[in-house]
Amino acid sequence: MSRAHDDTDGNAAYGKKPFERAKSHFADRITADGKDGWPVEAGRYRLVVSRACPWASRALVSRRLLGLEGSLSLAVADPVQDDRSWRFTLDPGGRDPVLGIRYLSEAYEAREPDYPDGVSVPAIVDVPSGRLVTNDYQRITLDFATEWTALHRPGAPDLYPEPLRAEIDEVMEGVYRDVNNGVYRAGFATRQSEYEDACRGVFRRLDLVAQRLADHRYLVGDTITEADIRLFTTLVRFDAVYHGHFKCNRWKLTENPVLWAYARDLYQTPGFGDTVDFDHIKRHYYQVHTGINPTAIVPLGPDLSGWVTPHHREELGGRPFGDGTPPGPAPAAERVPSAG
């Protein structure tokens, strides 16, 4: 999720111009062999997220499941950013305590002076230099799973198992196009036909996913994989923001028995729900997207208590963490209020 520097391309522009998902400008990879100049190294990098952003939430879930908290520090931006970019107003003095900056854009500028494009999360910053390393939201979590293995916790799951990668990639491609990105295409549409095409695509894909999950606990194989993480971060926002704010309202998540049970199953799995902050999610979408919601009024609903009700998905079998184990409790400084 990004923010451009130009005020004419800021919050008020949402819903007033055609939507197009920008490619990640900074696509360097942090790898075990350091081939891009950025070797995996404990304590060297800082992950910058917004708990409101579904793309950043993927990184939060992956980091928790793999136990990277002690190796990769976390900066959480204010969910209500301004047109200058994501800001660190949640921290004392309005500065990130590790990077010493007020805006994430400062790390972008340190990497590329006069950088003209959007400032997005998730982003990984090199702490010693203060320079942005990558904002490649599609690649970051895959590298967490495959390149950061030396820093994984004991019992960390394999979120991208090699024998299943082709199938995982195929599932993720459809989910990304029609669901992850589709809700944005619907929400930011400027023409009726554009909106209807995107909205139909969202629910067509969700119907297909529900059929897949009717007798399988997880999307691919019998364990949690990257594909589940990517679907979950959209589903957990669906009724709170996408159903109303983005007009994806053919039905609510709670009205689809399979997807609602699947989403609750993941939410109640350590590493998923304990990274979700519904307050941040709602305030971001309704207060930042003033082109869609000019009053910036944040709705009171929906009722969140259902997220912690029994789901019975364990009856389908499956092993959430495969041969591994659940992550321990989230670090105290990173805990968020539970929906229950």
Enumerate the β-bridge partners of residue 179: none
Q: Which of 204, 208, 210, 201 is nearest to 183 (CA)?
A: 201
Q: Which of 146, 142, 134, 263 is nearest to 209 (CA)?
A: 263
Enumerate the β-bridge partners of residue 125: 46, 132
Q: How far apart are CA 73 and CA 96, in angstroms?
A: 12
Helix (H) / strand (E) element for 2: namely strand 2-3
Alpha carbon separation from 325 to 7, 149, 159, 168, 231 (Å, rounded)? 47, 15, 13, 21, 22
Strands (E), 77-145: 119-120, 123-126, 131-134
**Residues with catalytic annotation?**
53, 184
- C-beta of residue 146 within 8 angstroms of C-beta of residue 31: no
Please give the pLDDT value at position 337.
81
Per-residue pLDDT of 176-198, as tens digits, reads 999 999 999 999 999 999 999 99
Per-residue pLDDT of 113-153, as tens digits, reads 988 888 999 999 999 999 999 999 999 999 999 999 999 99
Residue 3, pLDDT above cutoff 50: no
- C-beta of residue 63 within 8 angstroms of C-beta of residue 96: no
Residue 16, pLDDT above cutoff 70: no
Q: How far apart are CA 120 and CA 202, in angstroms?
A: 23
